[in-house]
């Protein structure tokens, strides 16, 4: 019988404690703290993410009901609603942001060998943002509209393993295209984005950095065709052209040639026009790259449904950012555990199992391996017959 660590502790074993302690020391997170450390705060908030807690009081009640197991979970301080609220308000959110970035580097190394497209070896990123609506009277710092507050989660997703590599949290007023100025550019990588990021000056800077992009053209984009390439129309491709922009401003912002691929979705009949600065990939691959952008939409949908980033345990900017970065850390931790334990189950399945077994003393690998075991019901021979024919 396995009498080792709790399931929650087994998940937290994948967190690099030396790196976390360096992050805490860098931002003096435990300065003059005696009883409730940054590690205690992280573990309590990670528990809330994993088990779908709704409030600080919910966290307090659940953890205090299992007070004899808190030491084995790694929590040394006394868990109380007021202490956790104070920690979320005052502990620097950059501690958890740096931890998440270290975990992201580890996860990307683990998923680097995964295949994405058969004829593509380079890294492919999907860039998009999601808006989280807030109450203006409770979150007055999150500017969005006159009667509404919101924050935006700008995310660059590595499509190998769906690992977020860049996250920027802003108020709702920041336009998506401005994030291109903050983006770390990787030479040779592909950046797939929708029309909200169509700014030819910024795209030209991306091209000069030896990176490739795939985006959609707007209906009023003016250009001149230089020459066309043959395409297989049975695949949905309409044309593959090399173009030059002819707009008064756009031809100054992007003076070089562009590739224009028109594709008709065979299911919906909708015609899509893609722009790219890559001239070597097949035209159908360009269309497939843009279709893969939906993975970032699925990522946003997934984390909103299975992590606590829509309702917050604090109202300050620091508390909100701390909660989001801890949620990202938990997501990446589960992704790391899935890879290192060589689990075939999806992240959704793994999180659901953890949520109901967090206090169990059983090997997690054994728990996942035995979850599909079925109890065979053997017919009993002691059943009396009602009628004897």
Q: What is the pLDDT of residues 214-235, one digit of tens each?
A: 999 998 999 999 999 999 998 9
Indicate the burial class of 103 (C-beta count within 10 angstroms; 0-12, 13-18, 19 or more). buried
| Beta carbons within 8 Å of 381's beta carbon, 6+ residues apart | none
- Residue 306: the pLDDT is 83
pLDDT tens for residues 39-84? 999 999 999 999 999 899 999 999 999 999 999 999 998 999 999 9
| Beta carbons within 8 Å of 202's beta carbon, 6+ residues apart | 177, 180, 181
What domains lie within the chain, and their CATH numbers? 7-94+322-368 (no CATH), 209-284 (2.20.25)
Q: Which tokens sit at 83?
A: 């202490």
- How far is it, in rounded angstroms, from Cα 10 to Cα 310? 27
pLDDT tens for residues 264-282? 988 888 999 999 999 999 9
- pTM (2 d.p.): 0.88
- Residue 386: the pLDDT is 46
DSSP string, 10-61: HHHTTS-HHHHHHHHHHTTTTTT--SS-HHHHHHHHHHHHHHT--SHHHHHH
pLDDT tens for residues 344-361? 888 888 988 999 999 998
- Residue 330: the pLDDT is 94
Residue 174 has pLDDT above 70, yes or no: yes
Q: Which tokens sit at 274?
A: 């893609």
Sequence length of the chain is 389
- How far is it, in rounded angstroms, from Cα 358 to Cα 8? 5
């Amino acid at each position: 019988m396995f009498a080792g660590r709790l399931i929650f502790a087994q998940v937290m074993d994948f967190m690099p404690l030396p790196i976390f302690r360096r992050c805490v020391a860098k931002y003096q997170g435990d300065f003059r703290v005696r009883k409730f450390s940054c590690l205690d705060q992280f573990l309590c908030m990670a528990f809330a993410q994993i088990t779908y807690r709704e409030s600080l009081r919910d966290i307090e009640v659940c953890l205090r009901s299992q007070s004899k197991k808190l030491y084995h979970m790694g929590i040394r301080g006394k868990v109380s609603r007021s202490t956790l609220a104070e920690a979320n308000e005052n502990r620097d959110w950059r501690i958890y942001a740096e931890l998440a970035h270290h975990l992201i580097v580890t996860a990307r190394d683990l998923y680097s060998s995964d295949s994405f497209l058969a004829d593509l070896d380079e890294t492919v990123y999907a860039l998009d943002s999601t808006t989280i609506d807030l109450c203006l009277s409770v979150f007055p710092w999150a500017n969005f509209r006159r009667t509404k507050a919101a924050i935006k989660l700008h995310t660059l997703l590595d499509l190998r393993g769906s690992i977020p590599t860049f996250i920027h949290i802003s108020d709702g007023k920041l336009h998506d295209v401005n994030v291109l100025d903050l983006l770390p550019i990787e030479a040779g990588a592909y950046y797939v984005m929708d029309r909200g990021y169509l700014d030819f000056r910024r795209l030209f800077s991306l091209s000069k950095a030896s990176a490739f992009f795939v985006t959609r053209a707007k209906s009023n984009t003016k250009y001149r065709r230089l020459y066309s390439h043959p395409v297989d129309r049975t695949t949905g491709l309409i044309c593959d052209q090399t173009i030059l922009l002819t707009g008064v401003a756009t031809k100054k912002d992007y003076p070089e040639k562009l590739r224009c691929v028109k594709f008709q979705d065979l299911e919906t009949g909708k015609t899509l026009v893609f722009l790219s600065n890559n001239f070597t990939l097949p035209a159908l691959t360009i269309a497939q790259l843009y279709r893969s952008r939906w993975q970032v939409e699925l990522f946003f949908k997934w984390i909103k449904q299975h992590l606590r980033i829509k309702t917050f345990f604090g109202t300050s900017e620091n508390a909100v950012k701390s909660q989001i970065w801890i949620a990202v850390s938990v997501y990446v931790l589960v992704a790391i555990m899935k890879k290192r334990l060589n689990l075939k189950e999806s992240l959704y399945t793994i999180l659901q199992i953890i949520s109901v077994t967090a206090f169990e003393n059983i090997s997690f690998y054994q728990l996942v391996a035995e979850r599909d075991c079925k109890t065979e019901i053997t017919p009993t021979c002691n059943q009396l017959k009602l009628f004897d024919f």
